[in-house]
Every structure is written in structure tokens, then in C-alpha cells.
Amino acid sequence: MKVDPLDSFDRKLLELLQADAQQPVSVLADAVGLSPPACYRRIRRLRASGVIEREIAVVRPRQVGWPLSMIVLISLEREDAHTLDEMMEIFRNEPEILEAWNVTGDHDFALRIVARDMEGYDDLAQRLFAANERIRTFKTLVVIREVKPLSPVPVNDV
């Protein structure tokens, strides 16, 4: 997990791999101007150091029966460590919750959730939020449009 400084070859590789992790190393090698083995060694190093966390297939929720998505803002009754841990555990174990953040401000958590339909969401919200006495309020923002799909982390300095 040691983070070495990234040179411009590494940054270019990260840019390319964030767009498409499936392309042959030989193609990447051409694109960055290194030989395939040199490229391969760099990619391996980026994985080992944790700069590349993992390589995954992105599945379209809509195509597999999850046409709705929501952003949910949760406020707790109390913010003690035990309550926070308990809530995080719940969120991590719920498959429909795709992302979750513990945040500052008026709310304590922001969640991104998918649902099969409104009824499905309502069931989940009742079960996870309304029935949980540690939760003071929850606010549901229904996603109308995905404006920007998960985008590459900038590596070539903005």
C-alpha cells in the first residue's frame, strides 16, 4: 500500500485503465509509448500499491431489474460511536445500498440505493429507516436522471 510518486506513464495508464480495464497491455503499451512488459510491470505495481483498488465490471442496474434509484439522507438521534458503527454495519449488509458515506452537517449519512419499484423501496425504507429508533429522520431524493455516471478520478492534474 506504499504510494510512490506517479510519473506521466503511470498517470496515462491510470487514465486508460479507468476508461477500459480490459484492453490488451500491448494496446496500452502503444498508447503510452512503452514496451508491453514495462507497462505490465507498472500496472502490477499500481495494483500492489493500492492506487488501483480493483478492476470490475460495471452492471447497468436498469438492465437487471433495478430501474429506480434514490439518494437517501439520514439523520440520527445520537451520533455516538456505537450508534454509528451499528448503522454502518446495517448499510454494508444491505445489497440494495450501493454506496454509503458518513457525512458532516445536517445529516449523518448519505446513501445511494437501487429499487425494483416504489413499493420495493418503501418496504426497504420502512424496514431499515422508519423502524430503526436510532434514526431521527430520513429524506429520500428520487433520482430522475443519471447526469454523470461514475467517472475517472483525475490523474493528469486538473
- The torsion defined by the Cα of 136, 140, 146 and 152, in degrees rounded to 10, comes to 0
50, 17 contact by CB (below 8 A): no
Q: Which amino acid is at 54?
A: R
Residue 26 interaction partner, one of a copy of itself, DNA, none, beta carbon < 5-8 Å per kind: DNA
Core vs surface per residue 85-103: b (16+ CB within 10 A) or e = eebeebbeeeebbeebeee
Supply φ then ψ for residue 129, to 5 degrees.
-110, -60
137 is a contact residue toward DNA (CB under 7 A): no
Q: How far is the CB of 38 from a copy of itself (least distance, A)?
A: 18
125 is a contact residue toward a copy of itself (CB under 8 A): no
19 is a contact residue toward a copy of itself (CB under 8 A): yes
Q: Alpha carbon 24 to chain centroid distance? A: 25
Residues in 19-48 that interact with DNA by CB under 7 A: 24-27, 34-38, 40-42, 44
Residue range at the interface with a copy of itself (CB under 8 A); choices 15-23, 31-39, 128-136: 15-23
Binding site for a copy of itself (CB under 8 A): 3, 6, 14, 17-22, 49-61, 63-64, 66, 69, 71, 73, 88, 91-92, 95-107, 109-110, 114, 139-155, 158
